[in-house]
Structure 1
Amino acid sequence: MEKSPTSNVKNIFRRFSIFRKSDGHIKKKPSRRSIETFSSEDKDKEVTPHKFEFKTTEIPLKPCSVLQIKTYIETDMLKEAYLNLLSLRLELKLEKSALVNKEKDINLLYDALRHKMFAIVHKSSDVNSLNKEQLVYVATIILEEEKREGEPGAMQGWREAWRDAVLNGVRDSLKKVPLDSREQNASWLAVHLGLLGKAVVEDLERVKTELLSSYPAELNVFETYVSCHHKAVGEHLKRLLEKVTELKDYSALLDFIIHRYPSDLQAHKKDLIMEEDLNKIKTSYCHCHKEEFKLKLENFSTLETEVWKKKKSPKRTEDGFLTSKIHMDICELIARYAGNLEKIDENLGKSVVSSCLDELNQFYPRFEKEFSQHTVSLLTSDLLDCCLWVEYHITYINSFSSLKENLQCYKESCSAQVEKLEKEVDGLTLRLRQTLRDHFKSEVKPYMDGMMTKKWLKTDEDFKEVISRVENYSGLCKSMRAPSAQIFVNDLHYYVAKEYVSQLMKKKYSCKKNKNEDAAIKLKEQWNELRKLFVEMGSSLKWLYPLGNYLSDIIGMEIEKNIKDLLHPLVSNYPDISKKQLSAVLSFRDNGFSLEKHNVINHFTALKRDAGNTNHEHSFFTDIE
């Protein structure tokens, strides 16, 4: 069960010895304690704060002059001033027709008395200006006036005015806390907030040890001072916020508000700063974090640009994969942000990570553009530069794929951002692979165009060039991480197989004088050599392997009518082959018209019809123009 404020103040009073009326001092001054000890007070002694009582017999029958009462007030003779004021009020009460001037004099004198009383309260925040005896008079007058509320000449709001005086005193006290400029000290805010917290602790400790004995329990003095400190600190923090522009200062401010503000005052923390204002600070902090993260990303990109300009070879991991530091730097930066912020506020940490992931998604297109612009010149240089260009692409395929994997830890807290990031990374790595594949195509295409010609039958020169380039990429693919490596190898395999077979469809050459048998042998040998190479590279497109043998058997068949017997496995495994494409293969074998060839075409048509429109797992001939 929570203790009432009055009970708390009584507990606080138990720490002190009896207040001496003669000099207003405490017999024994307690040792200084931190704010954390406020809730664990000694309870072995009951102490009652000193209080004067105004007796009716003390009120003069005839009040002294207004000028004399004013003099009493100005010279801090509060008792004499107040007793004569009461006499003046009684005189006003007894007079049936109160004079306006007398009522005006009373109001002016009461106003002067109130200002004097609360100047005393205001100054009590300064240890050098503390007068305990006067505080006793102040408290007694406040309670006395509350009893006389409603009488002629009475003023309202004494307790509220006293609270305002306390608040202004606290404000002035906090203004004395040292505050360096940013130019004087890079850690200006963190240092100031540390001193501010210490000042709050010391002020409230002094209230307990030096001020409570001057006030009666009815005024809830300690609770009032606590509340006023919250209000004053909150106002102070708002003024400080106007000067905050850097990330470390936002961090220091939030850490102070959420964690470092004196721990025993947590119950009043809602008074420290409004939730709306706290959210504004958090929003500004997230924005500042995002801007810093964006700047860091640009710095990372600049470091990579230096690598490209100086044509430095990419680094390799222990297991031989090409890699860059960029993904590690990004992951470490986000992890550091998240770790630091979770100590302040878990939700704030999630917000900052979310904003970083959003910014990262914007970073990829910028990086890709810069990468393309800075490395394209390598393709117009020598062979080593071309190889370096390929290595750079593999490097960033690996790095950004690793980044995607490492950021999976934020999927639960930032699912939407991580899913978008996954799509961005997949798109980037796809485009990098496509760029590599297109470059491979540009290297291989001229030699592929030399296939299935008269020259091709006589020499292996073009085919050897194709093999050489595939072997070059085979070595480079070993530097690429899965699953990108598997996808890329499959892409190369599919392209080479498609381009090789498509040469048969272009009707560039037709075998004469039994040259079809030589062509069939060559086609089978070359196809098997390609097959062996792609098996070593790890291609998973095993369904492509039989095609070369099917086609070479058709081309090399000595008796034309027997070709019909070879069509069923071809149509079963590659149902998308068209009549036109089969006709082109037959023309390569022999472009002359014959009834047997016509029968072969008819048999093929029947097989296709019987097969119907059954969907097949793979498509190949559809991609051949």
Structure 2
Amino acid sequence: MMGMKMFTIFSSSPLKAEDSKSKVKSEAPKPSTSSESELDSTSIESSTEEALPKDKVETESHGLPSKTNVTCHCTPEQNNKKKKKRRPLQEKLIDGLKYFALGETRTKPLGAGKDPSNKKESKPLTAGQIRELIQDQRFFDASQHLLAMEREYGSDNGSERKQDNVDHQSEIEDLFGLLKQAVLRIIRSSVSITQAEPELLRDAVRTIAEQVEEDRRCALEEKASGKAVHCRPRRWKDEWRSTVQESVTDRMKEPPFDSNEGLSTTAHSFLHMGKTMKDDLITVVKYIKCHYPEDFQVCSTYAQIYHRCFSSQLEMVAQFELGRKDTYLLLTWVQNIYPNEIINHPVLVKDLDKAHLESLLPPRQIRQFEAAYLTNEVDAAKRSLANCLQLEVKKWAEGNEPPKLAGHYHSELHIDAIQIIHNKQKEAEGISAQLAKQMSTLVLEEFLTFLKSYKKALDIFMKEKKNLYFEATVVTNMNSCLGFRSHAEKTPGQDYIRVKIVNALRDIETTGCDVLVQCVVQELQPIFRKFTQRKWASCTDIIDEIIATVLHHISTLRALKDPLRQAVIEKIHFFLVQEYISRLMKKKVSLRTPELQKNLSELVQQHASILCTFCFENGSNAKWLSYALPSLAEIIKLQGTDTVKVEVGMLASKYPDISKKQLSAILYIKGNLSYNETRSILDVLDIEVTATLPHKHLFSTIRA
């Protein structure tokens, strides 16, 4: 009779490991009873039956064991002890049991959780029954029985067992292969099924973990005994890692390209990989991680595989010569989206920190792409700005009235140009803060170059003055300058560049304002000459003509935005006062009677009031100009040297730039002053006085 040992399978309800241990302790000391002798007899009979061929062993009503079934492994030494001495059943069962722990799941000792009144024993499972367990996806149960079978037929029980072991080993290997194939199929679809079938995934993971634990146990046994363990290690963990690799590779494969999405091929590929990686890793962290032992480091494993897959795809794309859009897209994913939205995702950041993922591309390669990106984008900005200016100059030449927006002449030039600069800065911010800083500096330098070209084109236009709506066009461009300046003052970048930009815009504004004032001056100068061609009494209509002429130009200037409109009106105000004083000095009229002097004084006062009121009503804020003409009128009217000296002193305190030559021209009008009186009045200007107004030049700009 063959010395084959039988594995008895018991059905029991699920118990915790502590309960199993306590039951073993409580049952062990009990003395043998008649029922135990009957059980012992049954075991022997069963052992005799096991010597028969496998296909003749009756399974009767035992069927397939439940998931909590356990195996009993009796060694050859224990079989020899049975022959020598009959021992209590429980002691023999305990001596014959070997179980192995895996996490919280352990193969329970014989009798643990077993109802003592139930004396029935299950027979060992056949290969067909184990196949059924695998087909029913009860992987962990199948694994336990296979391990028991592997240990049974892997042990050396003498020469009479060797041939029998060889016959069964092939079948065991087939079963292990079938089990591994089924389990790895579940692992391959983990991400897809984990939420719908968590128990199935858990069972598959437990099976792999048990096989890994068995490899570890056998390695320790081999080290202790110095004898190699047959068919071990099976390296299921390596198979698991390879299966995860295959699963990730399949999931990261690019889906069919759909041109209707409005994305480039590169964008479509990056979007698919990035979204797949993020969503899948969230699934791993939330639903898969909990099924694995810590030593599997499942999150790090998945993350590293996804990272390598994404990185290799990017490196392949980087080998080609990329256009502007694809370069931007690649840098955006590498520098922004990947680290911020995937690596530092709130759900993933803790687990991915442990994975120690590096950048998707090497730093040197990233710098090369950044340099190419900056060059390409700055060149694109330069071309776009040049096109904007070319279109604007073309509109000037067409001679049409510029459109108005909210009552002001309007051009899209500054909007288009600012948008070009802003877009480049914003795009770079979408990659990294450091790149955005570099881009801001470069595009602002390009913007400064554009402003120089703009001023040159505007100077040519203002010099030719061929446009019917010349002033309106100049006003339009001054409004654009205000828009440029507002943006430049708020734009981040190097201070020295901003200062240059603001100065360049100020030069354009100053030139434009001077041109607008000059348009008014050119029409007013012939009118002012009439003051020297007529008698003072007949000059009333001249001031009306001056006001009408200025009013005509102001109708256009109202479409100019502040503060430039105010600046232009103040310059016109300045010219009116300046030119009136100049004509008053050049008239060379000597009035010898106080009455004539009084009449002229009143006329000058009247004209001064008209000019200042008109200018103030139209936006001038140059109140400092309002004292000049009335003060000169008082000097003309006053009689007595001392009173005239007082008024001259007050005039000098407000306008310290008045000269003796200019004051002499005014005093000449007072024909009743002697030389000595005139001399004493002029000496007042030699006295240092405290200025009562901000020092601004008025009389120094007038030729006496």
Give TM-score scaled by structure 1 length: 0.63
Partner of 1:304: 392
1:509·1:588 contact (CA, 8 Å) conserved in 2?
A: yes
Query: What does residue range 56-135 of structure 1 map to in structure 2 within 5 Å?
Result: none
The residue that corresponds to 1:509 in the other structure is 588
Change in Cα spacing, 1:430 to 1:43, as seen in structure 2 (3 Å) is farther
Q: Say which SS state the counterpart of residue 270 (structure 1) adopts.
A: coil
1:46 pairs with one of 206, 209, 217? 206
Q: Is the Cα contact below 8 Å between 1:490 and 1:540 reproduced in 2? A: yes
Are the aligned partners of 1:314 and 1:395 in contact in 2 as well (CA < 8 Å)? yes
2:547 corresponds to 1:467: yes
Q: Distance in 2 between matches of 1:58 and 1:549?
A: 121
- Structure 1 residues 347, 34: closer, same or farther in 2, change over 3 A? farther
Unaligned runs of 5+ residues in structure 2 are: 1-101, 104-136, 144-174, 286-292
**1:21 aligned partner:** 176
1:570 aligns with 2:651: yes
Q: How far 1:483 moved relative to its partner? A: 1.9
Distance 2:236 2:362 in 1: 35
Describe the shift of the 1:415–1:244 C-alpha distance in structure 2 as closer, same or farther (beyond 3 A): farther
Cα distance change on mapping 1:604 and 1:137 into 2, 3 Å: closer
**2:409–2:560 CA contact under 8 A, matched in 1:** yes
Aligned to 2:404: 316
Shifted more, 354-363 versus 48-57: the winner is 48-57
Is the CA contact (8 Å cut-off) linking 1:190 and 1:249 kept in structure 2? yes
Identify the match of residue 529 of structure 1 among 603, 610, 614.
610
Q: Output aligned runs, 1:352-367, within 5 Å.
A: 352-367=439-454
Hey, what does 1:292 align to over in structure 2? 380
Structure 2 counterpart SS, 1:452: helix
Q: Distance in 2 between matches of 1:296 and 1:546?
A: 52
Q: Which residue of 2 aligns with 1:67?
A: none
AA partner of residue 525 (structure 2): K
**Residue number among 467, 483, 499 corresponding to 2:579 in the alignment:** 499
Secondary structure of 1:314's counterpart equals: coil
Are positions 1:439 and 2:483 aligned together?
no
Q: After superposing the two structures, state which structure 1 stretch, 352-361 or 514-523, moved more.
A: 514-523
CA distance in 2, matches of 1:431, 1:473: 17
223 and 563 in structure 1: CA distance in 2 versus 1, 3 angstrom threshold = closer
Report the TM-score when normalising by structure 2. Answer: 0.57
- Tell which deviates more after alignment, 23-32 or 217-226: 217-226
Distance (Å, rounded) in 2 between the aligned partners of 1:285 and 1:343: 13
1:325 matched to 2:412: yes
1:561 to 1:613, Cα distance in 2 relative to 1, 3 A: closer
Matched-pair contact (CA < 8 Å) for 1:170–1:228:
no
Q: Which residue number in structure 1 is paired with residue 695 of structure 2?
A: 618
User: Which whole-Å deviations, capped at 9, do the CAs of 1:538-592 have from their partners, x for residues lacking one?
Assistant: 32222322322232343456778974464343233333322111112223554xx
Shift of 1:375: 5.3
Question: 281, 289, 294: which is aligned to 2:369?
Answer: 281
Query: Based on CA coordinates, which of the two structures has the bigger radius of gyration?
Result: 2
| Runs of 5+ unmatched residues, structure 1 | 1-9, 60-78, 80-132, 140-161, 209-215
User: Shift of residue 303 of structure 1?
Assistant: 3.4
1:37-69 deviations in Å (ceiling 9; x for gaps): 9xx99767534385888998889xxxxxxxxxx
Secondary structure at 1:272's aligned position in 2?
coil
Bigger mean CA deviation after superposition, 496-505 or 265-274: 265-274
Shift of 1:394: 1.9
Looking at structure 2, the residues matched to 269 and 465 of structure 1 have their Cα atoms a distance apart, in angstroms, of 82
Using the alignment, how far apart are the partners of 1:170 and 1:280 within structure 2?
33
Please report how far the alpha carbon of residue 25 of structure 1 lies from its aligned counterpart in structure 2 after TM superposition: 0.8
How far apart are 1:271 and its partner, in Å?
4.4
Corresponding residue pairs, total:
500
User: In 1, distance between residues paired with 2:544 and 2:425?
Assistant: 55
- Tell me the residue number matched to 1:551: 632
Report percent identity of matched pairs.
20
1:600 corresponding residue in structure 2: 678
**Aligned counterparts, 1:178-327, within 5 A:** 187-197=264-274, 227=304, 230=307, 233-234=310-311, 236-241=313-318, 243=320, 245-257=322-334, 258-260=336-338, 263=343, 267=353, 268-318=356-406, 320-327=407-414
CA contact (8 A) 2:303 2:352 kept: no
Q: Structure 1 residue 609 and structure 2 residue 686: aligned? A: yes
RMSD value over aligned CA atoms? 5.3
Distance 1:259 1:543, change over 3 A: closer
Q: How does 1:378-397 map to 2 (within 5 A)?
A: 379-380=465-466, 385=468, 388-397=469-478
What CA deviation, in whole Å up to 9, does each residue of 1:299-356 have, x standing for no partner?
33233233212223222233x2222223333455555555565555455445544544
Alignment partner of 1:602: what SS? helix
Query: Structure 1 residues 581 and 16 mapped into 2: Cα distance closer, same or farther (>3 Å)?
Result: farther
What's the CA shift for 1:501?
Answer: 1.0
- Judged with a 3 Å threshold, the aligned counterparts in structure 2 of structure 1 residues 573 and 372 are, in CA distance, closer, same or farther, namely closer
- Give 2:528's aligned amino acid: M
Contact 2:667/2:678, CA 8 A, preserved across alignment: no
Measured in 1, the distance between the counterparts of 2:688 and 2:253 equals 94
* Cα 1:621/1:249, change in 2 over 3 Å: same
Which structure's relative contact order is higher, taking Cα pairs within 8 Å and 6+ residues apart?
Answer: 1
Q: Which whole-Å CA distance do the structure 1 matches of 2:428 and 2:378 have between them?
A: 14
Task: Kindly state the Cα deviation for residue 536 of structure 1 after the two structures are TM-superposed.
Answer: 1.6
